[in-house]
Amino acid sequence: MGLKRTIKTPALMCTAIGGMLGSGWLFGPFLSAQIAGPASIISWAIGGILMMFIAFCFAELSSTFPVAGGMARFAQLSHGTLVGFTIAWVSYLAAVIVSPMEAMAAVQYAANYFPEIANHTNHGIELTKIGIIISISLMLIFCYFNTLGAKFVAKSNMALVIFKFVVPVATIIILFSSSHHIGNFTHFGGFAPYGLKGILTALPAAGIIFSFIGYGPAVQLAQEAKNPKKAIPTAIIGALIISIILYIIIEIAFIGAVNPHDLAHGWKHLSFKGDYGPIAGIIGGLGLMWFVKIIYFDAFVSPCGTGYIYTAATSRINYAMSKNGYFPEQLLKLNKKGIPYLAIIMNFCIGIIFFLPFPGWQQMINFLVSCFVIAYTIAPITTLALRKHKPEMKRPFKVPSATIFCTISFIICNFILYWSGWDVIWKMLLTIAIGYVFLAIYRACSKKEHQPLGFKSFWWMIPYLIGLGIISYCGSFGGGHNYIPFGWDAAIIAGFSVIILYLSQKCSYITESFDEIHQEAISTQKSNNKDKNKYNNK
C-alpha cells in the first residue's frame, strides 16, 4: 500500500495558498512599510516575481517527478547522497518548526480574550503553562486530523483557506472605503524614503520572501495529487499569482489608511499602541470594533490553518528522507488511510521541544525558517542538470529557455540568502555541519546497506557554502561588516552564483536513485490513469 492520490487541483492549490496566506498579512504590510515606506509596494512585487522564477523550476520537477516530499528528493536525482541530504536536512528543520510556531502564534492572539494564557515580558509575549498546554493540544489536533487521510486534509484545508482569503479581501474593501490618504504615498520622505536598499532589505526582514515560499506544501504532497501533470503546475503558479496580487493590494490599502499624524517622524518610526496590531489598530481607530473581532478570529484561524497543512507537508519530508536512506525505514509505514503516521508522531515529539523557554529561542526559530531559502536552491540546479542528462524525457511542464531561466533563479536564491544577512548565514552553515555529524552517526549505527555518499558530485558545495559565508560576512546586510559597498555586492553575488551553478552542473550525473524515483513517478501516473478509466467506465 502506498500514498493515495486523492487531492484534486483546487484542493492542492489551496494547500499552496494556505502556506502563503497566514496571519502574516496582519503584520507584513506594516513591517515592510517601516523598512521601505510606500516603496514597500515594489518590495512585494519584486518578491513575488523573484519567487515566480523558482516556482517555475519546481513546477517542472514536481510534475515530471510527482513524488512525496519532492523538495527532499530532487537533489538525489542529479547529485547523490551528500547534496541530497544537505537540502533535505535544512528543509526538514525549517518545516518541522512551523506547526509549533503557528500553534504558539494562535494562542498568543487568543490571549487578547484570555489573558491568563500569555504574559507580556521584556522579550515580548510569552505563553504561560496553560498557554503551552493549549498550544500542544492544538498540535495534537493537527496531528489527529492529518491521520484521517490526504483527501480529508485537503478538503478541510480548503474551508480554512476560503475564510483566510475572505477576511483580507473584506479588510481591503473597508480600508479603501473608510480611510485612504493619497498624500501618504508622496509625503514624509517621498515614495522611496529609504531608497533601493530599503526596498531590498524588506524582502527578508519584513517576511515578504517567507510569505511567498509557502507554496512548498503543494510540492511535498505531489504524489497524492490527482492528474499531477496538470494539477501541480496549476496549483503552484496559480496560488503564487493570487497571493502576489492580494499582498500588493493589501500593502496599497494599508499605506493609504495610515493616519498622516502617525507619520510625523517618518515611516521608520510608525507604531501602534496596545495589543491591536497594525491593521486591527487602524480599523479599531475607525470605530469598527465588530470587524476587529473578526480580524482577531482570523488571527487565530490563520496560523492554525498553516500549522495544520504543514503537519501534512512535513510528514512527507520525513517519508522522502526515509526513502533516500537518511531516516529509519520505519517512518515509511502508512495507516489504513495511506498516511505516514509514525512520521507525524515523530514530528509532534520534536515540535514539543520548541515550547521550552530557552533564551533567544525566538531568534533561533526565525533563523530556522530562513533555512527554507537554501532548500529552494536545488530547484534550478536539478532542473538544469536533468535537462542536460535527460533531454529526451517527457516533461508535462517545461521551463522556457532553461539555461537562462535556471541561472536567473539560482542568482535570485543567493540574493535572498545574502539579504538575510550574516547573522542568519553563519547559523545556517553551523546547522548544516551538525547535519553531517548526524548523518555520519546514523550511517555508522544503521545495519542496512547505504548508497555511496557521492563526494565527486558534492565538492562544489564546499566553495559554495564557504563563499556564501565570506560574502555575507563582508556585506552590509544583517550583521555584515560592510567591507563590500552596497551595489558592488550585487555584482559579486551574481558572478559568484554563475560560477557555482557551472560547477554544480559539471558535477551532476544520473544517480543510482534516479530509476527508483522515476519509477515511483511512473507508477503514480499509471495508477492515476487506471482510476480515470474506472471513472469513465462507470
Beta bridge partner(s), residue 124: 121
Beta bridge partner(s), residue 119: 126
d(CA 45, CA 334) in angstroms, rounded, equals: 41
d(CA 78, CA 53) in angstroms, rounded, equals: 20
Q: Consecutive sets of 10 residues in the chain, 538 residues long: mean pLDDT of each? A: 77 88 79 90 92 91 87 86 91 87 81 78 72 91 91 88 90 86 86 89 81 84 84 91 93 89 85 66 84 86 88 90 86 88 93 69 59 86 92 88 92 88 87 91 81 86 95 89 89 95 92 76 60 46
Q: What is the pLDDT of residue 144?
A: 93
Q: What is the pLDDT of residue 535?
A: 39
Can you list the domains of the chain with their CATH numbers? Answer: 9-521 (1.20.1740.10)
d(CA 184, CA 247) in angstroms, rounded, equals: 18
Q: What is the pLDDT of residue 19?
A: 82
Q: What is the pLDDT of residue 537?
A: 44
Q: What is the pLDDT of residue 1?
A: 52
Q: Enumerate the H helices of 325-377 as residue ranges.
A: 341-353, 361-376
Conformational region of residue 475, where left means phi above 0, alpha means psi within -120 to 50, and beta covers everything else: beta
Q: Which residues of 319-347 are buried (b: 16+ CB within 10 A; e: fewer)?
A: bbbbbbbbbeeebbebeebbbbbbbbebb
Beta bridge partner(s), residue 347: none
Q: What is the pLDDT of residue 326?
A: 87
3-state helix/strand/coil string of 170-201: HHHHHHHHHCCCHHHHCCCCCCCCCHHHHHHH
